[in-house]
Chain A
């Protein structure tokens, strides 16, 4: 068995990483399009704890906050535990559609990256330590 077997899975992992970087850039832009009314109305107690508000108000976590509201806009039922099922009503239609597409894309890419990455790490370590 040769390490050459890992060449194409490695290329696939690199392609997934590039896709993830592109997604991160798009998310950076989306941060500025999260509806202000949504944030002003729902990013406070009792929907979020004081510590959550503290964490998600500082850099770089203020950029992560956007994805929470994108999920609430795309999948209103996800905010059931926090009592945020009405939050999507403050988001425009295009934001809800974009949120669904971007989050689905992220979940698929990130899950594939992690699974393939774990496999490749084990395989590289095997070839490095046990293979002739």
Chain B
């Protein structure tokens, strides 16, 4: 039984305006309007999201398409954050509160307090490197970790507030690498499941496999280099960006190579990806 189509679907050969503008004099459905045109606009998020609403989902759509390139740099940020905010580093901040208590009870002089406070905060600042801006916004560590002068609150209220905040961030960062990897795999799986076209499924699959493998290999190559050549934060970030570029290039090449020479091979069915990503 033929089901009458009530909503116009996007058609590749007709402009958007003539399809979606109900007052247009040219508006009419072609007799064989396909539900999912092969050459029509690509559904970036999900097939359930109409093409005209995709602008509202630009962030999600961008993430869905690029998540596999974000796994490595994102894991570095998350994992590093989790480890830099280890108990030892957070303890440095807590010691500032202890020092203040010592100063107030007359155990040390004001100059001794200020000197030791500066040393502790300098060490914290050195340990966290460029993450300082991320943790404290526009303030430096020395500006953020201060004794509360306002009345009605404990003197260490500021420090306690920041310590709690950092502990919370550390707990997120600890699992960030696993979460990002999971998101990367899930996003690619979602893209494969959401595509009807078998060739496109295979293109997404080979692109994901190639970019992930080469990205991991680039990570190994950088690590291999780091043993004999210790580098600073700046160089490390440049190398990380380079490895992301190599990963992206490999994904692009794998997809192009598959489209040009490998269309007859169905990796998705052969590897059982189809049965997992449904």
Contact = CB atoms under 8 A, between A and B. Distances in A.
Interface stretch (B22-30, B56-64, B105-113, B250-258): B250-258
Interface in B52-73: 71-72
Nearest to A78: B228
A110 B217 contact: yes
Instruction: Give the interface residue-count category, chain A.
Output: 35 or more
A58 B226 contact: no
Interface of B is mostly: helix
Given A54-B80, A58-B177, A67-B223, A124 B256 contact: yes
A121 B82 CA distance: 37
A114 B222 CA distance: 14
A88 interface: no
A52 B84 CA distance: 10
Contact of B219 (A50, A61, A82): A61
Interface in A47-67: 49-61, 64-65, 67
A72 interface: yes
Interface of A is mostly: helix
A20 B83 contact: no
A120 interface: yes
A78 B228 CA distance: 5
Instruction: Give the interface residue-count category, chain B.
Output: 35 or more
Contact of A110 (B78, B221, B226): B221
Given A51-B127, A58-B177, A81-B230, A20 B224 contact: no
A7 B75 CA distance: 36
Contact of A51 (B129, B222, B262): B129
A101 interface: no
A11 B257 CA distance: 9
Interface in B107-146: 127, 129
Contact of A68 (B127, B223, B260): B223
Interface string A67-83: 11001100000111110
Interface in B185-225: 209-210, 213-214, 216-217, 219-224
Contact of B227 (A49, A68, A120): A68
B63 to A, nearest CB: 19
A82 B220 CA distance: 19
B169 interface: no
B210 A17 contact: yes
Contacts of B79: 54-55, 57-61
A51 B233 contact: yes
A14 interface: yes
Contacts of B220: 24, 27, 64, 67, 106
A84 B229 CA distance: 12
Interface of A: 3, 6-7, 10-11, 13-14, 17, 20-21, 23-24, 27, 49-61, 64-65, 67-68, 71-72, 78-82, 84, 103, 106, 110, 113-114, 117-118, 120-121, 124, 128
